[in-house]
Amino acid sequence: MAGLNVLVAGASIAGPMTAYWLAKAGAKVTVIERFPSLRTGGQNIDIRTIGVEVMRKIPGMEAAVQAKKYEIDGISLVRSDGRPYGTLKPTGNPDQQTLISEYEILRGDLSKIIVDLTKDNKNVQYVFGEQVTAMQQPSNGGPITVEFANELPSSGYDLVVACDGTTSRTRALGLGCGVRDHVISTNCWGAYFRMPQDLLQGKKIGLGYNAPGGRMVGVAPDAGASRVFMMSAYPNSERDAILHFREALKQGDEALKQFVARRYENIGWKDTQILEGLMKSDDLYASEVCQVKAPTLYQGRFVMVGDAGYASGLTGVGTSLAMAGAYVLAGELSEHSDNIAAGLQAYEQCMRPLIADLGQMPRFVTTVMAPQTAWGIWLRNNIFGFVLWTGILDYIQKFMGGALQKTNKDLLPSYQRIS
């Protein structure tokens, strides 16, 4: 595939990772991002299981992630008076991770690490403030003609890769569908921001608190400050409630802050301090939690990697699936260097078992994370405390961690041409 001219849409994790592996295979890659600069906001994310395998194939990446690792010693679920039910801590073994990963890192930091791996590569170019507006695929299977919104001229590309997230505009153009087609809402949303006050008073144990109505708030340490995460889940009977969040998101930060503040009014615990921090924040990031279940991962010379093709919702493996997807795409194209269609078909065949294995969101995950009733919160917290007290979780992690690691190694191919 040496000399292949590739356009990658999206510069957050999946895009730069795809550019890294494609360039390693000899392709010339242009990465476009509709925002004017690399986005540095967002929540802490995990690199798990298959993502760890891919990371370790990239020289220097594991050390770079460790250097920027999000420092947190555990998570406690607390009552309204701050007393904990129990504390979940990392195992210290990346092959047997708990809810806290040994490779937990802020989304913006991981994006920058991956961009830095490619920014000096003569075969990779980044263009910010640009997006695709139209694509024309010829019937003979030749290059795709792409039109852009701003300064890039219309041009032909051997391959177009959508890496621009759950509501991918590029997916809509590539598959000829609507932006929200193939997107499945979980009826919940998350919001994240940093506040200068240290709500944890120097401790590195994060705190999680739930209020009735599916409202959850977490506070984590951040270098003498606090990083706040809010997740709001609506019951299935209120399927229209998420529409109000989407509308606030469209209207901008001030409308979004007002919406979130109303939703979290009078929840108790540290609500006054947290809502004051919310209204003063300048880095608020929010998104609806969705899954993407596209009928195909490619069409002609258009293909999807990461959330654009297989967002996994609240599974905790979305980042790892995106990293694996980038590696598999480049690997299969390198194995079928004279036949792009065969390479894309092999990419889909390889990714489908991974998506099925890792990308299935447990049925009751939102109920566990954000119970709707006071009784549900009490029950969940007491079960959590009992499991930690008995040590059962240690045995589960040891068994499941080893099994998952073996499964992932079996499912992830090794490509000698890009290794």
Q: Give the Cα separation of 154 and 146 in Å (integer).
A: 6
Domains of the chain, with CATH numbers?
A: 5-68+106-182+293-363 (3.50.50.60), 183-290 (3.30.9.30)
Q: Work out the number of other CB atoms within 10 angstroms of the CB of residue 367.
A: 15
Q: Work out the number of other CB atoms within 10 angstroms of the CB of residue 128.
A: 15
Asked whether the predicted pLDDT for residue 366 surpasses 70, the reply is yes
Query: Residue 390: what pLDDT?
Result: 74
Mean pLDDT along residues 374-390: 85
Asked whether the predicted pLDDT for residue 338 surpasses 60, the reply is yes
Query: Residue 403: what pLDDT?
Result: 41
Nearest to 86 by CA among 395, 379, 387, 371: 387
Mean pLDDT along residues 17-37: 95
Q: Percentage of residues in the chain with pLDDT exceeding 70? A: 91
Query: Residue 15: what pLDDT?
Result: 97
Whether the CB-CB separation of 418 and 335 falls below 8 Å is answered with no
Mean pLDDT along residues 362-390: 83
The pTM for the full model equals 0.90
C-alpha 373: how far from its chain's center? 28
Q: Give the Cα separation of 192 and 40 in Å (integer).
A: 12
Model confidence pLDDT, tens digit, residues 49-87: 889 899 999 999 999 998 888 778 888 889 988 888 888
Exposed, middle or buried: residue 57 (CB in 10 Å: 0-12, 13-18, 19+)? middle
Q: Where is average pLDDT lowest: 4-18, 30-44, 104-118, 221-235?
A: 30-44
Model confidence pLDDT, tens digit, residues 294-320: 999 999 999 999 999 999 888 778 899
Higher pLDDT, 304 or 140: 304
Planar angle of CA 120, 126, 128, nearest 5 degrees = 145
Joined together, the tokens standing for residue 84 give: 């904990």
C-alpha 299: how far from its chain's center? 24
pLDDT grade for 274, boundaries at 50, 70 and 90:
very high
Which residue's structure tokens are 């040891």?
398
Query: Residue 417: what pLDDT?
Result: 82
β-pairing, 302-304 vs 159-162, is parallel
Q: Percentage of residues in the chain with pLDDT exceeding 90? A: 63
Which residue's structure tokens are 């087609």?
181
